[in-house]
Every structure is written in C-alpha cells, then in structure tokens.
Chains A and B, each alone.
Chain A
Amino acid sequence: MAAALETRNLMKLFGALAVANKVSLTVEEGARHALIGPNGAGKTTLVNLLTGVLVPNGGRVILNGVDITDEPQYRRVSLGLARTFQVNQLFPNMTPLESVALSVAQRRGATARWWSRLAKSSETIDEAAELLDRLHLLDCAHEPSRTLPYGRQRMLEIALALSARPRVLLLDEPAAGVPEGEGVELYDALADLPSSVAVLLIEHDMDLVFRFARRITVLVSGSILVEGPPEVISADPRVREVYLGEATHG
C-alpha cells in the first residue's frame, strides 16, 4: 500500500532539546494508526509539525506524494490533511450548522465570495446537515456551540475536521475530557470513519488505542521506540517498561 502521509528524518529543536529526533513515520492509505507515548514524548510537537503550526529544523513531510514541508497550514488542509484539537477549537457563538457550513464552504472555495448568499447555497447547507446527521448533532444544529454538552462539542470537533473531506485525518486525543461511559458515541463515530481516510490517532486512552488501531507507533523522548501491530506492541518489554502502569490495565 502507498503512503498517505510520511515524514522523513523530521527534526525539531527547542534550544538544545530535540523534541522530534529524526522521526520517520509512514501512515498508509486508509490506515488506522495510533501514536502513543508518555507525557513529553513529543506527540503534540509532531502534530504541529505535520499540520504546519511549527516549522521543522530538518527533514520532510510528504502528503500523498507531495512535499508539504514548506506549505502553510491552510494549504495542507486543501491538499487533504485535516485535524482535530486536543482542546476544543470551536466557534463558540456559531451554531453547529453554521460552523460546519463554514467549513464545507471553505472546502468548496466559497469563502472568498462576498457577493453570494449563504442562505441560498443549498448544496453547502445540505452537505453540512448531512454530516451533522451522521454524527448525531442534527437535533442541536441551531444552538450556539458553547451551550452544547462537552461530549457533543467533541463530536462537533470531529465534524469540522471531516467536512474538509481529508485523505488523512489527525485525531489529537479525541477522548480527552470525555467522561467514562460517555465515550460510546465517540467510539462509534471513530469506527464509522470512511475507510478511504487514513487516520492517525494520538491518544492516552489505551482502551481506545487497542480497540481502534491496527498499527501503533510508540514515541519516547522525541524518537520512535518501536512500531508494529497492537499484539506486538503490547508484548514488547520496552513498551511495558515505558508504560508500566497502563500496560497492565490495557
């Protein structure tokens, strides 16, 4: 299978500290790939390097065969790389319908048009409504996003990323803050993601990781420690050592 997203010897230094140390990661087309590692392993830094928030000190980022290392954030999205955030990044005073319609309009290249009318862009609105329906958000489509329960806001976060119709989706700790027992909808939504989309999941919740991922990369101190299918990772003594507490319950 071809690589959807690839990094080659990616380097990022904060002063003398290498927070990404020659990271070469390959996410295959349609993959269900998880990136795990203890706090401070450099997971968030890696997401920021992939999405263009940070500029690497060395190495390349390749998306569907296109070198995107020097592309700004917004260009990477139109080239097929979308993300969710660890801490919700929503439009607090906009409704879910408006928020997703905005994202759909952006993908269709309509947000530069100040003479056209949103209320008459029925294809955009239909697509937004359909996506909200799929993520069980249609019944709260007209309430301000800030008033939604946290679990719903988490789903909206995913809806916003999906409306970009990405080829590669980065999920930055989607289960973060979702109370125990309320994760079912989220797990279902993740299981329902289109198989054509390659997913890179960054997560602390080992339940979710082992349920979802078919391939796992373990990042420690900015370098890849080991990579393989879940059964190999869970049996690896080095991973057990790093994850002493969590390995026993996972």
Chain B
Amino acid sequence: MGSSPTNAPAGVAHRIRYEGEAEYLRAAASWRVPEFVFWLLPIAAYFLLPRQLVLLSRVAVMGLFALSLDLILGYAGIISLGHAAFFGLGGYTAGLLAQHGYGEPISGLVISGFVAAILGFATSFLVMRGADLTRLMVTLGICLMLMEAANKMRWLTGGADGLQGIAVSPILGIWTFDLFGRTAYVYSMIVLFLVFLLVRRIIRSPYGLALRGIKENERRMHAIGTPVARRLVVAYTIAAALAGISGALLTETTQFVSLDVLSFDKSAEVMLMVVLGGAGTLYGGIIGALFLIVAQYLLSGISPQYWQFWVGIAFIALVFLARGGLVGLAKEGVTWLGRRGRSTSS
C-alpha cells in the first residue's frame, strides 16, 4: 500500500500510471443522458401519439435499415447504392415464409436476416474489389438484377402486384397484429432497440475501431498488419443481415411486400436518411429516418405534389451548413451553448 511507484513492480506501476487512459476510453463508451432520453421517446410516443403509430412503425423499420447502412457507410466507409437488395430479400423471405404457412414472426426475422447475410457474404467479394465508384456500380447492379428477377418470377413473388396472402402469427403466440398498429409499433421498436444495442457493441469493440481505421486510412491499416478485405467482408455480411431483418420487419408489420422494397429509390432513400442524420454517428440513421418520414408526411399534407422539393432544399442546406448531418449539427449546438454558458458565467 505504502509503496511508491518507483519500487512497485513495473506492471503494477503501469496499471496505476495509465489507469486514467483506460478510464477515459471507458467514459467515452458509456451511456449518456441524451441517449436515455432518446430511447424514452418511443415509449412516450406510444401514449401521446396513438394515432401515428403506423407512421412511427415505418420510422422504426427505416431507422433499422439506415442503421445497417451506417455500419458500412459511416463506419467502414463502403459506399453502396444497392443496399435495398438485402432489405428486399429479407422482406420477400419473410413474406414467402408467411405465405407458405410459416408465420412465426421472430424466427421469421432471424431466417430472413440469415438469407440476406448469405447474399451479402457472396457478393462482398465483388464489392471489395475496386474503389468507391466501382463499389457504387457493383452494389447498384446487384440490386437491379435482384429487382428484375423478382419482377420476372411472378409465380413466386406476385411480380408487380406484390405478394398476396401473407398471414403473420401472433408474437410469441400472444400478441396479434392489430388494426391500429399497436403491436406492430411495440414489436418494431423492440427489434430496433435490440439491433441498435448490437451495433453499438460492435462499433465500440476492437473490431469496430479497425473498421474506423479502414475508413480513415486503408494504407496504414495494411501497414499495421490488418487483413483489410477480411474485416470488410464481415462488416458487409453483418450489414446485409441487419438490412434483411429490417425488410422482414416491414413485411411482418404491414403484412404485404411488393417490388418497391428492391427499388433503386429504396437504396437512395436509405442513403439520404443516413447522410441527413449524420453518417458514422450511430443515431444518425434513426434520426434521419424520423426526419425524412415525418417531413414527407407533413409536407405532403401541405403540397402533395411538391414535398420532395422542400426535402431537397433542406438536404442541400444541411450538407452545406453541417457536414455531420443532424447529429453533427446538434453536437455543434451543444458545444456552442456550453461555450456561451461558460463565457456568461465568468
């Protein structure tokens, strides 16, 4: 106890000297107050906005989809314009399962995620070749092919009419999907939260740090001995699985799936959400989804034809004013207020 650092064994001395550094990283990784508040909002919304639950379920589904894209776009730095391939595949898998009499929702999500992961793994090797522009074209191409295949296979997918006759069983055999979307809402939010916890854990792991490293400087990652391609394959596969789960969630909560889930629009929309909310910020995708879907809802009420015009203006303004998206803007706001608070109190 009374030993000074000089005569303590070297290892112990280090433990004492550098404890502050470990503490710093632990503090950076711990939950903060705004995060708790953020996750209390969906609970409040259930009671305060009972007539908007269908809309908010859509936010949860798209937020989950955006979260999966953020893992590869915001953290690993892989640009994809075809992420809807996995969303759509998951959606159709869940739909076909339910149509053929297997309507158990939770295992339906897991199976759909698994099927999407297989496609993600298989195509990751194509995506890993080449730089940003190549990746853009490859991901786009894969998604277009899948959409065309779904369109041609009318016997399986229903083609342009969508998949009919989806019957999803009650969750855990207890909660049936009701007309007001209450079950769907709670179910979507819980799935979103669980997947969020998983992604949060991944990005705060040594693996997550390696992904950030690859995005920031791939050359250096080779030089510290990281098998870069292998790390990216894993990230791409996980992101595909999560996108598949979000697609399946859409099918199960709406009891319908159509070609729209595989469209280029879907891929573009989810990327818009991530960038709008702030790529690589963990919450950006969910906030972007909330913003875009609510804006669409409100603006289409005002001018049904031109709502995209206003979204476009907001988007351009945001990328010029705050490159970190809405989350980046909020962070800057907090820093600014903090500085102002300090200067007025002194």
Contact = CB atoms under 8 A, between A and B. Distances in A.
Contacts of B238: 114
Interface in A108-162: 110-122, 124-126, 128-130, 133, 138, 141-142, 160-161
Contact of B18 (A92, A111, A126, A142): A126
A116 B224 CA distance: 20
B223 A73 contact: yes
Contact of A91 (B14, B204, B217, B227): B217
A91 B225 contact: no
B212 interface: yes
Nearest to A97: B21
Contacts of B24: 97, 142
Nearest to A128: B21
A106 interface: yes
Interface in B197-236: 201-202, 204-210, 212-213, 216-217, 219-220, 222-228, 230-231, 234
A117 B220 CA distance: 23
Nearest to B224: A103
A111 B207 contact: yes
Given A74-B228, A118-B209, A130-B18, A89 B223 contact: yes
6 contacts: A74-B226, A83-B223, A89-B217, A93-B212, A102-B209, A130-B18
Contacts of A102: 206, 209-210, 213, 224
Interface in B217-269: 217, 219-220, 222-228, 230-231, 234, 238
B210 A91 contact: no
A116 B234 CA distance: 15
Interface residues of B, number: 37
Contacts of A120: 26
User: Chain B contact residues: over half helix, strand or loop, or mixed?
Assistant: helix
User: Chain A contact residues: over half helix, strand or loop, or mixed?
Assistant: helix
A128 B227 CA distance: 21
Contacts of A113: 205-207
Contact of A118 (B17, B29, B224, B226): B29
Given A126-B15, A130-B14, A164 B224 contact: yes
Interface string A60-77: 000000000000111101
Closest 6 CB pairs of A and B: A77-B225, A114-B207, A129-B18, A111-B210, A105-B206, A129-B21
B179 interface: no
The number of chain A residues touching the other chain, given as a range, is 35 or more
A142 B227 CA distance: 27
Contact of A117 (B18, B204, B219, B224): B204
Interface of B: 14-15, 17-18, 21-22, 24-26, 28-29, 201-202, 204-210, 212-213, 216-217, 219-220, 222-228, 230-231, 234, 238
Given A74-B227, A106-B210, A106-B226, A115 B21 contact: no
Given A111-B231, A142-B24, 11 more contacts: A74-B225, A91-B212, A94-B212, A105-B210, A106-B226, A107-B224, A113-B207, A118-B205, A119-B25, A119-B26, A129-B14
Given A91-B217, A141-B21, A98 B209 contact: yes
A140 to B, nearest CB: 12
A163 interface: yes
Contact of A85 (B29, B208, B223, B230): B223
Given A89-B217, A90-B217, A114 B22 contact: no
A125 B216 contact: no
A78 interface: yes
A97 B25 contact: yes
A106 B225 contact: yes
A55 to B, nearest CB: 14
A82 interface: yes
B223 A82 contact: yes
B216 to A, nearest CB: 4
Nearest to B218: A89
Given A102-B213, A114-B205, A114-B207, A122 B219 contact: no
A101 interface: yes
Contacts of B208: 114, 118
A99 B228 CA distance: 16
Contacts of B210: 102, 105-106, 111
Given A102-B224, A106-B225, A125-B18, A91 B213 contact: yes
